[in-house]
Structure 1
Amino acid sequence: MSADIIEALKRNPVANILRQIEQNTRSEKTAVLYESRKERGANKVQVKIRALVYAITDIDNEKQEFTANLSVRARWKEPLLQGLTSKSDIDWDDQWNPRIELENAVSIRNFDKKYEISYFHTDLGDNIPHVCLTMNISATFKEMFELDEFPLDYQALNIWLISEWSYSELDLVKDDEYMDRLAVNTFTESKEWFLYPQLIGEPVGEEEEIDEVSGSTSQYPLYTITAQVKRIHQFYMWNHVLYMFMIFLVGLSTFSIPVADVGLRISGALLVLLCALIYRLYMRPMLPVIAYWTALDKYNMSIMLCHILILLEHSVVGGVANTGSMPSVTSVDLACLGGIVAVMVTIHCYFLAFMIQTLNKRDKFLQEEATNFEELNATIKKNHETRTNPRKRFYEPPPLTEPQPPLGHPGVPYSLNKYYISPNGQSSASPRPTPRPTYPPSPRLQRDISFTRNTMQRSSDRGAQPILRASSPLRAAGYDHMNPVEKTHEAKITVPTSVMQAVQSRSRSHSRSRGRSRSRIGNNRVAAESSYASD
């Protein structure tokens, strides 16, 4: 002890000592004063949170704690840094930061922070950069477990993030472009717990926030990162419930002792009761220490009450039998045995129904949470692809308000091939097939088309029409072979019979002329080969 402290003790044992300790522990650095965004000339900002949980270990039922290693990334738009591209030009100690802390951390082993600036997330026509704050965390967190349904329970392992700024400064929201991730293969508590792959991150609204969290009139943004685990209840069913039931069955064996031998009956019932108590004390370290009863505690207490009923029955019925005032003691003893068995059967039926209902409710809830998580990830993945794909990001096709021309029409641009318009003019979500490239008709086909149209205009015959072949010149001219009506917007012209006969005869003549020309070419080729062989 220094001489200054001894002298202070002599003068004033309390005030001077406290003043001396304050001077010795005072830091030379001045206190850090944080400037709000309003003081810096900026508006309220949205801070987007993304979480990556690498490992969850040491889930303690007694202390109600768990350990987690995770990385949290906070991202926000910062107009104060607009125009800066080099990280070396920025002093992050002088810049605004969201001041995010861990609300329910018991002990923190690592809490590293790293700042980055990025223009990748800027919107179209917006040159405002984004600041990314990455926090690597390794800590032990406190969580109030809900153990009313133990060992059929499930737990939400929450990590609470809180900002030291109020709601007037910022909002903590979920990042809608990047998915939260949870590493399941590094889970070390798989013997007792089953870890679900979903990691739920969501902000706590102002109306949902607990008053005790802030401790003042101002409310502060909260964000929860939740991992869900369910307890593997088979261990407790086989090693606790089954053993307690077997001990009770041993207690029923004391009814085989004659009713007159009261001392032997009572000693046997006491021995079985002590065995049940000893086994419960042996299993006590594996059970949570809480101030209320769990489902397993209620089952154990019902078993103990049945043991006490057996002991009371032996005492009362045996005492009455020794006095000789009850002639049918054996019948009364059997009736008591039947009543105790009925009570035990009722207890186990209730417990079995409770177990089935609780397990179904638990699995249904967790399955719904997994489905919601998958749907959310699908939406986030779509947003991320839209952000990273320049074609999807900067070009959006106009909506279709009017029916488009049919497939193959020269007025259909290839940029609209992914839309499908049904014959009744309604658009469909399924993409339309890409049309084949169309080529101009040959000169012979053009002559056929002009001949057909000129003949139709001169003819006045209107008769029944046969089905046209797909290779018919009329089909190429724009007619449907299943409905011989020209698809024009001026008039509907029916194809006459005489025109059909003329077209078919002209097609047969063309086929014969093509066959004769091919035969002449073949004959010339054979003659040339024979002359070459003779030479």
Structure 2
Amino acid sequence: MPANSSSSGQLANKPAVQTRQNVAIEMLTPNADLDFDLVDASPPSVAGQQAGEKRLVEVRIVFTKIGDIDTVHECFEASVYLEVRWREPALDKAVTTVDTSSLWHPDLYVDNCIGDLKHQKEVEVIRVESGDTFVQEKHSVRGKFHEQMELSHFPFDTQDLTVTVCSNLPNSAIDLHEMSERPCRVLTNTFMDAQEWHLHTHVDATKALIHSDSHIGPRKRSALRFTTRATRKSVFYMVNIWLVSFILCALAMCAFCLDQKKLSSRLKLSFTLLLTTITYKFVVNNSIPRIAYLTLLDKAILYNLLFLVLLIVWHSTTGQYDSRKIEKFAIVAFTAVYFLGVMVLGITVLCGACRRRWAINDKDRQHEIRLLNYASAKGSLQKDTGTSHRQGT
């Protein structure tokens, strides 16, 4: 069975090694010897490196399960599967055993984890037909990850969900790349927050440099950020917050039905609706983190508040005018101004949040095509392999 690692963001310190045919994993001490079987496989895309050169390490991720997305505390829960593979020339001539104390290791860890991670690891040694040998680690990681939420388009926002894989080695010693021949994946059928979010299927891999301080001075560490995305389902917020606020503003127009001379009645109705709208504003504040900028929903509610304030100012001065024509003009003017503001907010949503959603949906389609091409190529390879075996027998 897979061996458990220490419960932290660290993925590995010393490699635990497993043959592809065997199931049990032996956690090796620095002076232990490694027994392994040589496995034929299709050549990975990693080119061989000479000793002392910058090592090329390929990484692949599968988001096996994504749990709660907490925008207030800016984090999300997830279970991920990581494959890490690199060329190991020291094993090219090995037949059965090798001293593991001299083996190179990428020393990877998850940079944006929160608290301890539940971690299991398996290791395979792969020898391809050309004779090159590769070490491949498989990590199962579960925990909570930090993510800086962008809420300017709330509740039409799309959030990045990122797992950052980083190496403790300096950037001059390691080069992290996304695994080219096997695409990353997101398993959407295990998503636990589907009532509030729509989980996208694509994964973007971005190389980065993380600056850190150590006892020998500042260092640059190589990192790879794997990002999938989730789009908020905005119907709940539009119906329960914005629509209610819109109805309150519409009801405020009923004050014009009262006699102009009954100023106290008009002001009482307007102030009641204003205080109710302010209460809804506090409800929204409890749904999102404390940020230094306004969201789209904030702007919509503040616009409704401003509209109600203007109505109160008008009603407080309307007693000076006796003309019904001025009253009718005020009704038309306030209605036109309000719906003009609603149209401006709608255009902002279309030009900002919706445009980003369309671009992300296009990424989903491209990723699905890539997965289909990979599945088709894998099926053709298995079919050709089966045919060659039958011909050989």
What TM-score results when the alignment is normalised by the length of structure 2?
Answer: 0.78
Matching residue of 1:307:
308
CA contact (8 A) 1:178 1:381 kept: no
Q: CA deviation at 1:283?
A: 4.3
3-state SS of the aligned residue for 2:332? helix
Matching residue of 2:276:
275
Q: Which has the higher contact order (CA 8 A, sep 6+)?
A: 2
Matching residue of 1:173:
177
Superposed CA offset, 1:391-421 (max 9, x none): 79x9xxxxxxxxxxxxxxxxxxxxxxxxxxx
Q: Partner letter of residue 75 of structure 1?
A: R
Q: CA deviation at 1:214?
A: 7.2
Matching residue of 1:341:
335
Partners in 1 of 2:243 and 2:313 — Cα distance?
Answer: 24
Q: CA deviation at 1:109?
A: 2.8
Q: CA deviation at 1:46?
A: 1.3
Gap change, CA 1:93 and 1:372, over 3 Å in 2: farther
Residue correspondences, number: 337
Partners in 1 of 2:342 and 2:206 — Cα distance?
Answer: 43
CA contact (8 A) 1:259 1:330 kept: no
Q: Identify unmatched segments of 5+ residues in structure 2.
A: 1-29, 31-49, 389-393
Partners in 2 of 1:382 and 1:177 — Cα distance?
Answer: 13
3-state SS of the aligned residue for 2:221? coil
Partners in 2 of 1:214 and 1:143 — Cα distance?
Answer: 22
Q: CA deviation at 1:143?
A: 0.8
CA contact (8 A) 1:317 1:329 kept: no
Matching residue of 1:194:
198
Q: Which has the larger radius of gyration?
A: 1
Gap change, CA 1:72 and 1:273, over 3 Å in 2: same
Q: CA deviation at 1:138?
A: 1.0
Gap change, CA 1:335 and 1:305, over 3 Å in 2: same
3-state SS of the aligned residue for 2:154? coil
CA contact (8 A) 1:113 1:135 kept: yes
Matching residue of 1:28:
none
- 1:55-94, aligned counterparts within 5 Å? 55-86=65-96, 89-90=97-98, 92=100
Matching residue of 1:351:
345
Partners in 2 of 1:348 and 1:130 — Cα distance?
Answer: 60
Q: CA deviation at 1:79?
A: 0.4
Superposed CA offset, 1:134-192 (max 9, x none): 22211211111111111111112111111111232121111123232221111011111
Matching residue of 2:135:
131
Matching residue of 1:410:
none
2:113 matched to 1:105?
A: yes
3-state SS of the aligned residue for 1:179? coil
Q: CA deviation at 1:298?
A: 0.4
Matching residue of 1:522:
none
3-state SS of the aligned residue for 1:185? helix
3-state SS of the aligned residue for 2:293? coil
CA contact (8 A) 1:56 1:68 kept: yes
Q: CA deviation at 1:94?
A: 5.0
Matching residue of 2:299:
298
Matching residue of 1:241:
242
- Structure with the higher helix share, 1 or 2: 1
- 1:189-268, aligned counterparts within 5 Å? 189-200=193-204, 202-204=205-207, 209=209, 212=211, 218-268=219-269
Gap change, CA 1:69 and 1:176, over 3 Å in 2: same
Match 1:182 to one of 186, 189, 192: 186
RMSD: 2.8
Partners in 1 of 2:132 and 2:380 — Cα distance?
Answer: 19
What TM-score results when the alignment is normalised by the length of structure 1?
Answer: 0.58
3-state SS of the aligned residue for 2:149? coil
Matching residue of 2:124:
116
CA contact (8 A) 2:56 2:174 kept: yes
CA contact (8 A) 1:50 1:73 kept: yes
Task: State the identity %.
Answer: 22
Partners in 2 of 1:381 and 1:219 — Cα distance?
Answer: 37
CA contact (8 A) 1:199 1:225 kept: yes
Gap change, CA 1:84 and 1:379, over 3 Å in 2: farther
Matching residue of 2:11:
none
Q: Identify unmatched segments of 5+ residues in structure 1.
A: 1-31, 33-39, 321-325, 395-535
Partners in 2 of 1:198 and 1:67 — Cα distance?
Answer: 18
Superposed CA offset, 1:395-448 (max 9, x none): xxxxxxxxxxxxxxxxxxxxxxxxxxxxxxxxxxxxxxxxxxxxxxxxxxxxxx
CA contact (8 A) 2:158 2:357 kept: no
CA contact (8 A) 2:200 2:229 kept: yes
